[in-house]
Amino acid sequence: MPKTSSPILPGSTVLVRDSCSIYNGYRGFVQRISDGKAAVLFEGGNWDKLITLPLEVLEVN
C-alpha cells in the first residue's frame, strides 16, 4: 500500500529532504505556494531566512 502524505498548505510545518541542499533536515513554515514551489520561512536564533524550494523536496511535519 503506497504511503499517503498530507497536502502542503500555507502555514504547514515542513522538513526539507534534499541531500543536495544546505537546508536538508531544516524545519520551516510554508508562507506561500506557486508554480510547484513553496516559499519556506526558516527561523533560527538571531536569523530568519525565506527560501523558495520545490514541493517534491518538502515533507509535512
pLDDT at position 2, please?
46
Evaluate whether 52 touches 37 at the Cβ level (below 8 Å): yes
Per-residue confidence in pLDDT tens, the chain, 61 aa: 445 578 899 999 999 999 999 999 999 999 999 999 999 999 988 889 999 999 999 999 8
Domain range enclosing 54: 13-60
Q: Reading across the β-sheet that carries 37-44, which strands appear in turn?
A: 47-54, 37-44, 27-34, 13-16, 58-60
Question: Is 5 a member of any domain?
Answer: no
Q: How many domains does the chain have?
A: 1
36: CATH:
2.30.30.140
